Homo-oligomer: A and B are copies of this chain.
């Protein structure tokens, strides 16, 4: 067993997750990649690497969601695919109410921020701050 796998097992156990063969295989990829893969890409990549027991789609989804729950992984909802429309054309920021999913516009001037630097070799066309949170408890 490789060093990588040892490492994955340690992380899984530290998070209170039973290190099954499938979870190790998924973790050995997804916990070390910077490719920001989707669930299907994880499945494809693990199958390609091959040296593991059979792995079903459902197990990939189960495992990824479990790792997110346990704080080993973060879930990003930045990919195209489910889309929502905003008639406000001017640059502005967004706040997402995590309880309801409702999106609120936040005025551009509400945040004083220098233009952020893109990764080397890229140029920024547009940027915004995305906030997530909930309604404040009234006491």
Cα distance A85–B76 in the bound complex, in angstroms: 6
| Interfacial chain B residues near A127, Cβ < 8 Å | 129-132
| Interfacial chain B residues near A133, Cβ < 8 Å | 118, 122-126
| Known contacts A133-B123, A134-B122, A78 near B106 by CB under 8 Å | no
| Interfacial chain B residues near A58, Cβ < 8 Å | none
Are B124's CB and A116's CB within 8 A? no
User: Which residue, A73, A75, A78, A121, has most C-beta atoms of chain B within 10 A?
Assistant: A78
A residues contacting B by CB (< 8 A) are 30-39, 42, 64, 67-68, 71-89, 93-98, 101-106, 110-114, 116-119, 121-136
Q: Besides A97-B122, A125-B133, A129-B129, 20 other CB < 8 A contacts?
A: A32-B87, A38-B83, A39-B83, A74-B88, A75-B83, A76-B83, A76-B103, A77-B81, A77-B83, A77-B84, A81-B82, A82-B82, A106-B116, A116-B131, A122-B135, A123-B136, A127-B129, A127-B130, A127-B131, A128-B129
